[in-house]
Structure 1
Amino acid sequence: MKKVKNVSMEMSGMVTYGCHLHVDSTTRFFLFTLITVASIGLFIQIMYLYGDSPGMKAALPAEYSLAGRRIMYGRLFNNVDVSQIKLSNPKPIREKAKFIPYQAFGRETTFVRSNETVNNRSYVIINEFKPKTSGQKYYLYRHPTKISGNFNGNITRHVNNPGAFSVASDRNIYIMSVFGRFINRKTGERSQSKQPDPDKENLLIVLVGWLKYDLFNSSLQCCLLLANDSIVCTPNAKRLIWTQVNKQPLMAVKFFCPVPKELKYSHVKGATMSLVTENCLNKKFAAVEYVKRQAQDSIAVCAKIVYGTMSAQRLIEWFEIQRFIGVDKVLMYFYNVNAETVNVLQQYSQEGFVDLRPFDFPEADTNYRYVGQKDAQPFIDEQVVLYEAMERLQGYTFTAVIDVDEVIYARTSHKHNLKRFILQLYRRCPEAAGFSFKTELFITDWENKEDKGPEMNMFYHTKYQNRTRPLEDRTKNILVMDRIILGSVWTHNYTSLPQYKKFQVPASMGTLKHYRPCRKNWHCFLRRGYRDQTIAGLMGNIKRNVSNKFNKLLDKSTLNAIKENATNGSNYQGGSVQSRPVHKTNNTIFSNKKIS
């Protein structure tokens, strides 16, 4: 018994000795101070984001907010309906207003409106201002329909893309697009009728664009242009903002402008935003687009922005893959692209498969940046695109947000049909708001010695058959559009409505194939490689369509280079996707070992 006790004491002494840490008084004081400051900062952050005390918000600067999150007026964007979040009442637009009953709108007249109740009766404040010219016509800004190849060989140099956005207020507000969204008065339902019923639905005007950071908490007003050329000005009660922790000059923003119930039978053809110090006269109005409900089980792909030295060959292959797996529409924004790529985009646009939209960013002369740059302001510019895309594609049942170097592969569906696959998942998880896919990286820096003959060697997607294991930190999603908050969608995530949930797709059922060079910090030569011929097999089903498109759309010099390299057992690159820098890695893992 005594021996056991001695052994226990020795073991206790060993453990105590091994875990002992000596901290002097100076270090102890420093650690205590650091923990105290961090705790106070966290407490203030939580109080500011979730608290209702106006004194707290007034005491802190507007930029005091968390990094890289969707922010709704200084509050974190949680799983709640956008319609349930409201701003505090803005300052009155006009101090002196006369209470008069609602009157019919006259042509060429501007009104400033806000609802008031007097003696239990509802009235509308109306201030009338006559325009300078009695017969004035208001200009409606619309996106251009033509696309031209204006690539100058350098993606870091800005090239103006006219018509991509309009200036609502000089150096303050920029509008990319405006949409009319009909909302059912009964929450959670959506009208299935072809034409909206004003008695059952309310019209909401949604404007997408950029807002000056200095106007984070400012009061703004919505300017609505009616069919009879009269203008209605209403206070902007809600807006959705995307920003970063480090202050950037511009923020991505969605403005929500409810149309007054008195105007529910009036057609709103244009809209813009303005400061309260401005009036809506002589404004350049953006045309309101009314999105149509698409066929049941329709699926669209948001490909974000194509720019620079985009390979026309790879673009053709990617389009044909999307068409083969069942995609109904591809939404793509173009900026600073080469002439050969323009030819491809125009052809698929004329066929009705691709919806092409121009992209450009404001203040390029004072706020230097370029598309594809990995920095805060370009990420904000990209979020404007996603804001716009989700409004434009809301009529589809499902929407995937992927890039043109990515392919969603359905392993368990016949002929890898994506639409059939999503419907299978939908039945498996009827409460799903979206489906998340793990990413398999096909590293283009790795050595590839595949030789499938000259006919198949022509294709980019048949050359690279070495990939990593499925990764969970770069998921991409297919969204169920009726079950998500449109303004919450970004490249890698989204927020569902409270009654729905996210669904993670097992890698054995489907994954995302991502073709790209290796980044320096990935250490790709240390990763284990896996042989994967799935996309190569898929290309065999569409090789005839792809070859016909090559002969029709590609330049003769490009086509000859592709065929010559295919005969020699290599593959013509046709330009690097999005001009990403290529980092060469150690290829010995594939030359000395058999890939499993």
Structure 2
Amino acid sequence: MTILLCLLIFVWYGIATYNVFFTLFDTNLIDENPESTDSNIKLNIIGRQMSHDMVLNENHESIDSNINIIGRQRSRDKTTNPTEPDDDEILRKFMEYQHTYEPDIYLYSAISIQEGINKFILINGWERKSLLHVKNFTCCLHDRDGTNLFINSTLKSTFDLFDNVTLHSVQYACPVRSSSIQSVSVSIGTHKCEESEQHYINVESSMRNESGLAICGKISYGNMDAELILEWFEVQRLLGVDKVLTYTYKLNDQAMAVLEYYESIGYAVIMRDFEYPLQEEIKRSVGEKAESAWSDLQVLIHDCESRLHGYKYVAVLDKDEFYIPNITKHGFKIKSALNYYFGNDYAGISALVKMHMTSWKPSNESSDLIIGKYLLSTAPVYDNVKYIYMPSRTKIGSVSVHSMLPKRNYDSIVLPDSEIALHHYRKCRTDYWFDRWSFSAKERKVVYDNKSSDDLCFGFRKYYQKDMAIIMERIRDNVLKIRTKLNVTM
């Protein structure tokens, strides 16, 4: 009787003080079935706290949130609208660095997504190495009505690419039922949240186009070639890509002018001025072939994956890479080709790579387009492959530059180059995913010029790419017109 009385008092107290907690336990990578119901997400109501209350630890002291905010938005967000904005309604985002006092977690963005009837807020950022294997964390949520919610979760995706990296990328997934969560933070452990708004990051909505194809254009930085970026955008438009999301870091003025042109017509979404934490402690720069820089890039891939979750198809590409379907078979409609490729079985497809080496002498020096100057490529090879994936069939948090994980009952496939190829315009490298001896004798004759001993650049056998020549002619007039308008020089 005493126990029953205590339970009744506890329940009465919870109702009277309006205290609620949510607890969720699950696997490291989310694998939600879009057809699932509320029963798939088991939420135990334990407590809710009104906004004027302060979270206290067992010593009745306020608890630090161990959070650093990297992402701050200077202007309003229009990413929830898949329609083309007017010129005066362009999305302009800037990501600012903001110091706080704890070095363990650094937040970059928080994006709300929907999987069937299930809602999640994906929080993207960095963690210290010491937190890599810590599973339990608390999602700290501020609702628009002033209510604070705390959700204990284990839905955490990390990319620990290198053993000696101080920071690794992380994505925390917070299951929610409300669509009115305004800002979020994260605390390691259970039921510990800081009240102060300075430790929270605003929640944005993912972009939606249920029949659309979007490209995660990674990051544009430094002295990247404005002319090639311009040609790249025009190829994507020709092929029917609906939206490009990209990031910038200290990008040269001409290339920035190209990005802003496509932003002005509603085709591109630009996340400006990427900034990363611990720059003095961990020396690295964007684009550097360094382990820490790869972790920074993965944070952007997590962010990109989150923002584009509402699209039917998403491709991760650099701005010197072109997915080209068999245009004799599919024309210039890449989405029609994707509908054919994916069918009912696949979550992701990748393609063999045809490398157009810009270290070679141009095959057509008179062409006024870069892609027209270098119409010769290598044979299709398995090197630095990328994926086009369906977010609805892909495990949340699993997408990286060169990989993705299908949900249960789906698979991924590398398609033959007779269906689609990834054309990569780049200088010769000092290493590849393959070498001469990874091929059979017959394959070596296809890939290499047997008269040459140079396996890394000039020893490749060269092949004329008719599809790229056709595409070059199709986009040429538009490229020249925009080049003149923006005063872009080759």
TM-score for both structures, normalised by structure 2 = 0.76
Aligned amino acid, residue 270 of structure 1: S
Q: Does 1:206 pair with 2:206?
A: no
Specify whether residues 508 and 212 from structure 1 end up closer, same or farther in structure 2 by C-alpha distance, changes over 3 A only.
Answer: same
| Alignment size in residue pairs | 405
Q: CA deviation at 1:202?
A: 3.8
- What is the match of residue 335 of structure 1? 249
Could you say what secondary structure the match of 1:304 adopts? Answer: strand
Q: Does 1:401 pair with 2:316?
A: yes
Instruction: Give a deviation string over 1:124-181, Cα, whole Å, max 9, x none.
Output: 345678468xxxxxx99743459xxxxxxxxxxxxxx963465676211111111222
Specify whether residues 140 and 241 from structure 1 end up closer, same or farther in structure 2 by C-alpha distance, changes over 3 A only.
Answer: closer
Aligned-residue identity in percent: 27
Aligned amino acid, residue 258 of structure 2: V
Contact 2:23–2:152 (8 Å) recurs in 1: no
Mapping of residues 352-431 of structure 1, within 5 Å: 352-358=266-272, 359-411=274-326, 412-426=328-342, 429-431=343-345
Could you say what secondary structure the match of 2:163 adopts? Answer: coil
Q: Does 1:241 pair with 2:241?
A: no
Q: Does 1:535 pair with 2:468?
A: yes
- What is the match of residue 258 of structure 1? 175
Could you say what secondary structure the match of 1:486 adopts? Answer: coil
- What is the match of residue 176 of structure 1? 108
Aligned amino acid, residue 278 of structure 2: E
Whichever structure has more helix as a proportion of its residues is 1
Specify whether residues 545 and 288 from structure 1 end up closer, same or farther in structure 2 by C-alpha distance, changes over 3 A only.
Answer: same
Specify whether residues 399 and 115 from structure 1 end up closer, same or farther in structure 2 by C-alpha distance, changes over 3 A only.
Answer: closer
Q: CA deviation at 1:414?
A: 4.6
Specify whether residues 410 and 253 from structure 1 end up closer, same or farther in structure 2 by C-alpha distance, changes over 3 A only.
Answer: same
Specify whether residues 553 and 145 from structure 1 end up closer, same or farther in structure 2 by C-alpha distance, changes over 3 A only.
Answer: farther
- What is the match of residue 267 of structure 1? 180
Contact 2:375–2:464 (8 Å) recurs in 1: yes
Q: CA deviation at 1:492?
A: 1.6
Contact 1:211–1:250 (8 Å) recurs in 2: yes
Mapping of residues 5-404 of structure 1, within 5 Å: 100-103=12-15, 113=21, 124-125=46-47, 130=52, 142-145=72-75, 163-164=95-96, 170-183=102-115, 190=116, 201-218=117-134, 219-259=136-176, 264=177, 267-275=180-188, 279-284=193-198, 285-296=200-211, 298-358=212-272, 359-404=274-319
CA distance in 1, matches of 2:427, 2:192: 50
Could you say what secondary structure the match of 1:248 adopts? Answer: coil
Q: CA deviation at 1:353?
A: 0.5
Aligned amino acid, residue 113 of structure 1: F
CA distance in 1, matches of 2:466, 2:100: 51
Contact 2:239–2:334 (8 Å) recurs in 1: yes
Aligned amino acid, residue 154 of structure 2: A
Pick the aligned partner of 1:478 from 369, 385, 388. 388
- What is the match of residue 518 of structure 1? 428
Specify whether residues 208 and 462 from structure 1 end up closer, same or farther in structure 2 by C-alpha distance, changes over 3 A only.
Answer: same
Contact 1:112–1:126 (8 Å) recurs in 2: yes
Q: CA deviation at 1:279?
A: 3.7
Q: CA deviation at 1:326?
A: 0.7
Contact 2:139–2:185 (8 Å) recurs in 1: yes
- Give structure 1 stretches of 5+ with no counterpart: 1-96, 117-121, 133-138, 147-160, 184-189, 191-200, 559-571, 573-596
Aligned amino acid, residue 345 of structure 2: E
CA distance in 1, matches of 2:385, 2:154: 34
Could you say what secondary structure the match of 2:311 adopts? Answer: coil
CA distance in 1, matches of 2:16, 2:158: 35
Contact 2:140–2:150 (8 Å) recurs in 1: yes
CA distance in 1, matches of 2:120, 2:351: 33
Q: CA deviation at 1:473?
A: 3.3
* RMSD, aligned CA: 2.9
Aligned amino acid, residue 251 of structure 1: H
Q: CA deviation at 1:220?
A: 3.4
Specify whether residues 486 and 526 from structure 1 end up closer, same or farther in structure 2 by C-alpha distance, changes over 3 A only.
Answer: same
Pick the aligned partner of 1:509 from 410, 413, 419. 419
- Which has the larger Rg? 1
Q: CA deviation at 1:484?
A: 1.0
Q: CA deviation at 1:265?
A: 5.0
Contact 2:363–2:375 (8 Å) recurs in 1: no
- What is the match of residue 90 of structure 2? none
Specify whether residues 202 and 415 from structure 1 end up closer, same or farther in structure 2 by C-alpha distance, changes over 3 A only.
Answer: closer
Q: CA deviation at 1:525?
A: 1.7
Aligned amino acid, residue 173 of structure 2: F
Contact 1:142–1:163 (8 Å) recurs in 2: yes
Specify whether residues 340 and 496 from structure 1 end up closer, same or farther in structure 2 by C-alpha distance, changes over 3 A only.
Answer: same
Aligned amino acid, residue 176 of structure 1: Y
Specify whether residues 105 and 354 from structure 1 end up closer, same or farther in structure 2 by C-alpha distance, changes over 3 A only.
Answer: farther
Aligned amino acid, residue 332 of structure 1: T
- Give structure 2 stretches of 5+ with no counterpart: 1-8, 25-43, 55-68, 77-92, 432-454
Specify whether residues 505 and 128 from structure 1 end up closer, same or farther in structure 2 by C-alpha distance, changes over 3 A only.
Answer: closer
Aligned amino acid, residue 125 of structure 2: G
Q: CA deviation at 1:274?
A: 3.0
Specify whether residues 244 and 293 from structure 1 end up closer, same or farther in structure 2 by C-alpha distance, changes over 3 A only.
Answer: closer
CA distance in 1, matches of 2:47, 2:266: 47
Contact 2:113–2:310 (8 Å) recurs in 1: no
Mapping of residues 481-492 of structure 1, within 5 Å: 481-492=391-402
- What is the match of residue 75 of structure 1? none
Specify whether residues 334 and 266 from structure 1 end up closer, same or farther in structure 2 by C-alpha distance, changes over 3 A only.
Answer: closer
Contact 2:51–2:147 (8 Å) recurs in 1: no
Aligned amino acid, residue 290 of structure 2: D
Contact 1:387–1:486 (8 Å) recurs in 2: no
Specify whether residues 123 and 482 from structure 1 end up closer, same or farther in structure 2 by C-alpha distance, changes over 3 A only.
Answer: closer
CA distance in 1, matches of 2:50, 2:417: 63
Q: CA deviation at 1:531?
A: 2.2
TM-score for both structures, normalised by structure 1 = 0.63
